[in-house]
Amino acid sequence: MEIKAELVKELRKKSNAGMMDCKTALVDSKGDIKKAEELLNERGLAQASKKALRATKEGLIDCYIHLGSKVGVMVEVNCETDFVARNEMFKNLVHDIALHIAAAAPLYVSMGDVPDDAVEKEKELYRKQALNEGKSEKIIDKIAEGRLKKYYEENCLMEQPFVKDNDIKIGDLVKQNIAKIGENIVIKRFTRYVLGEEK
């Protein structure tokens, strides 16, 4: 099947994928641009997992000050090359992450950043709550694990639903951008300031 150059260009503009990847996806989807976009996403997310181990020494530090200047965020997001750090898509991602942090107030970047003692403290609290609710001893640990998952979703940036699109988590948003941009991306650290708040 012959794929017209205009169609390849249109898909490239939409997806930011390479020309050959766009052409292959269009051939595989028999010229259906929507299906081709889905194929690129699937293939890109598979590749994104492989890229997760690559070193990230470049990137950006971005700031977001919320309307009224009562909340401010500073975030560092790393990528592999200076070229990508200057890319508009990467800059937009970093800014969206800063905006999300201002709105959602996470305490940690990922589940691995939560101190062990804090995890144990939460688990113990959930166990006590379950006992007070009259739950059976046999299922208390299971209940505590389920509530701990909710704790991670509320307090870990990578587990939180993205404020601009609740259907995806921040972790998935990062993976999507790794797939589109073609480099590993890591949210390194952030600080969130609230006017008058005591630390």
Q: Six-digit token pair at 111?
A: 């589940």
Whole-model pTM: value is: 0.69
Output the pLDDT for position 54.
65
88 or 179, higher pLDDT: 88
pLDDT tens figures, 55-113: 678 999 999 998 889 999 999 999 999 999 999 999 999 999 999 999 999 999 999 99
Chain centroid to Cα 32, Å, comes to: 28
Q: Could you tell me the CATH superfamily of domain 5-51?
A: Ubiquitin-associated (UBA) domain (1.10.8.10)
If pLDDT is split at 50, 70 and 90, which confidence band does 135 have?
A: confident
- Residue 2: predicted pLDDT: 77
3-class SS of residue 18: coil
Least confident stretch, 13-17, 37-41, 80-84: 13-17
What pLDDT score was predicted for residue 49? 56
Domain spans in the chain, listed from the N-terminal domain onward: 5-51, 58-110+156-194, 115-154
CA quadruple 150, 155, 159, 163: dihedral positive or negative? positive
Q: Which CATH architecture has domain 115-154?
A: Orthogonal Bundle (1.10)
**Which two structure tokens, joined as six digits, stand for 48?**
């994104």
CATH superfamily of 58-110+156-194: Elongation factor Ts, dimerisation domain (3.30.479.20)
